[in-house]
Chain A
Amino acid sequence: MFQGQRGWFCGSVGQDLRQFWMAEGGTVSDWRAADFLFSSDASHPDTLRIYHSLDYIEDNATVFHAYYLSAVANAEIKNSVALGHFILPPASLQKEIRRKIGGFIWEQDQHFQTEKNEEV
């Protein structure tokens, strides 16, 4: 499914999701060269570097939650999962966005959230 696509992974992303990406034909690259930017934690320094980049400011770098990959892995039809539902906004905006839209898709499956369940 990810044949020929280059992905960048924040240090916050689990090894199993990287392996899934590669098993589906994706390669791993430098963030500047990557087609897909995946993170599991918007406040991780790796991801912060992207939010502070010119690419991000100029709308050329959207960070997606790596939960997208597990949603794809678990979907009956792999390409039926909407990538757009997995935007990962900067951590400082999440509280406000959550208040307005009532939570992110990647938060809804609580059992999947590793480690950081007790976030406010």
Chain B
Amino acid sequence: AADSCTKILKYRCSGCISVGNPLNSRNFSKLLRACPYQCDRHKVIVEAEDRYKSELRKSFICNKKILLTPCRRQQLSSKSAIPGEINEHI
């Protein structure tokens, strides 16, 4: 049963279509994501990778915040070090 299923899906799932398709590492994820007929295999892989990516995204944002904090502080202190600057802008 699974075999006949993949046969039908084979011709619809972008991830499974190969011939004459300029697929590569750069466009594959987007192409697969945009495909409304993902086969079971690709659906499972995309879902798992999505979860992995969102975890990473979270940790990326955290890292950025940590990196940004001292910069902001520096900016603020340099601003306050120039008297009259804020008034000029108003």
Name the residue among B15, B25, B56 with the largest chain A CB count within 10 angstroms: B25
A35 to B25, CA, bound (A): 6
Number of B interface residues, CB 8 Å? Answer: 30
B32 partner residues in chain A, CB cutoff 8 A: 84
Residue B45 at the A interface, CB < 8 A?
A: yes
A93 to B47, CA, bound (A): 10
Interface size class of A (residues with CB under 8 A): 20 to 34
Query: Closest approach, in angstroms, between the C-beta of A36 and any C-beta of chain B?
Result: 5
Which of B14, B51, B52, B60 is within 8 Å of A84, CB to CB? B14
A89 engages B60 (CB within 8 Å): no
Q: A57-B57, A57-B60, A62-B29 are in contact. Are A90 and B52 (CB under 8 A)?
A: yes
Among A12-20, A96-104, A112-120, the one that faces the other chain is: A96-104
Residue A22 at the B interface, CB < 8 A?
A: no
Give residues of chain B (45-65) contacting chain A, Cβ–Cβ below 8 Å: 45, 48-49, 51-53, 56-57, 60
Residue B77 at the A interface, CB < 8 A?
A: no
B45 partner residues in chain A, CB cutoff 8 A: 87, 89, 97, 101
Name B's interface SS.
Answer: helix
A60 to B60, CA, bound (A): 16
Q: What are 18 residue pairs bridging A and B, where the CB atoms are less than 8 Å apart in the complex?
A: A36-B25, A51-B56, A57-B60, A59-B29, A80-B18, A82-B16, A83-B24, A84-B14, A84-B17, A84-B18, A84-B23, A84-B28, A85-B16, A93-B51, A93-B52, A97-B48, A101-B41, A101-B45
**Other CB < 8 Å A-B pairs besides A57-B57, A59-B53, A87-B28, 13 of them?**
A35-B24, A52-B56, A59-B33, A60-B26, A61-B29, A80-B18, A83-B28, A84-B15, A84-B18, A84-B23, A85-B41, A90-B49, A93-B49
Sorted nearest first, the 8 A-B pairs with minimum C-beta distance are A84-B15, A59-B29, A82-B18, A62-B28, A37-B25, A35-B24, A93-B48, A100-B44
